[in-house]
Structure 1
Amino acid sequence: MTVETFTDARHPAPGRLALKLTPKPREGRIRLVSADASRLLLPIVLLLIWQGACSFGFVGPRTLESPLTVAQTLVELTASGVLWESLVASFKRAGLGFLIGGGLGLLLGVVAGLSRTGERAYDALLQMLRMVPFLAVIPLFVIWFGVDEEPKILLIALACIFPVYLNTFSGVRNVDPKIIEAATVFGMRRSAIATQIVAPLALPSIMVGIRYAMGVALLSLVAAEQVNATSGIGYLALNPRASLRTDIILGVVLLYSVLGLFVDFLIRTAQDRLLPWHRTILEKAR
């Protein structure tokens, strides 16, 4: 947005200010795309070093398969349909777990952030549960919910609650109280203040929590799919250990990393769409 002066018949006063919206230059978009692409430079360099170490015999195949071998194994798994079935099963579990845990964490964070009563009611309990080792609750979930899909989804949901809750609580509490006080003076209702003022200002922190929780959902798949699973990428990584198929294990590890990068890219893109003003501030700070 630029400010220009104009004088015409309808506005005879010279030098009158006018606001004119100018589109974002294409060079700026290209610069942002280049900056995102540059983030892949280090992973590519590490893959090249890994391939070189395997090709020149510094690392044996029993210790570490080469990236080309791992890629060939992933292609074979994809052609056989095993990899696709595993991805679909894992995405269903991770998606449902994230929706349940993230939604609950968002609700609890908003209530505790807006109300001291809500904070006193359950914040201490959530902080205690947050410090419980994740693997320690797996036997309890098996006893309580059986060995079907329920314990897997609920384990992922449990892992996703805390990142969203903590970031939502922090974002709501860090809203400037003077803004809320001014809105109250002008007669805004509490619900309108929460939806029109607090929510937009807390949204950057909430998006950080969602971004972190989606990564946690993928990580918790490994533990969740140990509970009598017969499908999923976590099961695919653990199952071939008996036959020492390090190429499959490494392939799943690389697949996890690519999925994590893809999910992070989706969240960053959504954040840029939802918070254009926040993106502008970051760009000017660079």
Structure 2
Amino acid sequence: MMRKSVLPWLVPIFILIVWQLFSSSHVLSEGLFPSPLSVLKALWELITNGALALHLQISLARALSGLLIGGLIGFVLGIINGWSALSFRLLDTTIQMIRNIPHFALLPLVIVWLGIGEAPKVFLVALGVMFPVYINTLHGIRNVNREHIEMGKMYGLRGFQLFKQIYFPSALPSIFVGFRYALGVMWLTLIVSETIATSNGIGYLAMNARQFMQTDVIIVSILVYALLGKAADIIAHIGERYALKWHPNYQKQG
């Protein structure tokens, strides 16, 4: 068990050791690529002066707000379009067209519509999160085993009961895949959204550090994003294992 816990961290630890060795031997410029110890010192300063906690709190609020809004919209649309052939034909093409528009292309329009406050940042995160949840929910609902559906109908299940007992449990593994993918997109979109004129957030911390050539602070910001993404994925994985403990494939993994 301990070996399984340590194994995923061997490569990151190896990279840190090599990085420190190259920095100590001056192969890497300290100004352009500071050593891990310098980055750690910058991290400690940001923690002790309270700056990291402040910016982290604001970024988390933006990310979670966008995740809740976008995830809920994607989930509902995925269920409706998966359940109804008419809704699928009516809405799916439009959703797919919007999905393929890059976020950077939307930035000028979003700023014109919503200004430069919190609204455009949450909007972009919600938009980015919506599509992975939608696609995987749609896939899960449309690929439910037809034999299970017919068996449910034989037992008198109709409407919401059929969805609750057959469709939703069968689609749940696919929905969780979409949710976990959406968590990664959430942080990527947050980085884009925090390039909009702002005075707080982890993205602002990195952009402000760039102006003063504080590469150690920039790397701290990148590492914070990476750790947040990893933490979110671990939480989602635990929730997935718990919600799907009845599923044979997840019992085998356990």
Q: Which has the higher contact order (CA 8 A, sep 6+)?
A: 2
1:233 aligns with 2:239: no
**Residue type of the partner of 2:38?**
T
Q: Distance in 2 between matches of 1:264 and 1:209?
A: 12
1:139 aligns with 2:108: yes
Deviation at 1:283, TM superposition (A): 6.3
TM-score normalised by length of structure 1: 0.85
Q: Distance in 2 between matches of 1:66 and 1:285?
A: 39
Q: Distance in 2 between matches of 1:283 and 1:271?
A: 12
**Residue type of the partner of 1:87?**
L
| SS state at 1:39 partner | helix
Percent identity (aligned)? 39
> Which residue of structure 2 lines up, in the alignment, with residue 176 of structure 1?
145
Q: Distance in 1 between matches of 2:222 and 2:116?
A: 25
Larger radius of gyration: 1
Q: Residue 78 of structure 1 is aligned with which of 40, 47, 58?
A: 47
**Residue type of the partner of 1:229?**
T
Q: Distance in 2 between matches of 1:188 and 1:37?
A: 47
Deviation at 1:186, TM superposition (A): 2.2
Q: Residue 130 of structure 2 is aligned with which of 142, 161, 166?
A: 161
Q: Distance in 2 between matches of 1:214 and 1:36?
A: 22
Bigger helix fraction: 2
| SS state at 2:246 partner | helix
> Which residue of structure 2 lines up, in the alignment, with residue 15 of structure 1?
none
> Which residue of structure 2 lines up, in the alignment, with residue 187 of structure 1?
156
| SS state at 1:40 partner | helix
Q: Distance in 2 between matches of 1:37 and 1:177?
A: 43
Deviation at 1:258, TM superposition (A): 1.0
**Residue type of the partner of 1:121?**
L
How many pairs are equivalent?
A: 254
Q: Which runs of 5+ in 2 are unaligned?
A: none
Q: Residue 104 of structure 1 is aligned with which of 67, 73, 82?
A: 73
Moved more, 180-189 or 146-155: 180-189
Q: Which runs of 5+ in 1 are unaligned?
A: 1-30
Deviation at 1:143, TM superposition (A): 0.6
1:2-81 equivalent positions in 2, closer than 5 A: 31=1, 34-81=3-50
When residues 112 and 155 of structure 1 are mapped into structure 2, their CA distance, relative to the original with a 3 A threshold, is same
When residues 132 and 262 of structure 1 are mapped into structure 2, their CA distance, relative to the original with a 3 A threshold, is same
| SS state at 1:175 partner | coil
RMSD value over aligned CA atoms?
1.5
1:216-273 CA-partner distances (Å, limit 9, x unpaired)? 1111111111222100001111111121110000111111111111111100111111
Moved more, 90-99 or 190-199: 190-199
Q: Distance in 2 between matches of 1:47 and 1:55?
A: 12
TM-score normalised by length of structure 2: 0.96
> Which residue of structure 2 lines up, in the alignment, with residue 281 of structure 1?
249
**Residue type of the partner of 1:51?**
Q
> Which residue of structure 1 lines up, in the alignment, with residue 211 of structure 2?
242
Q: Distance in 2 between matches of 1:233 and 1:116?
A: 43
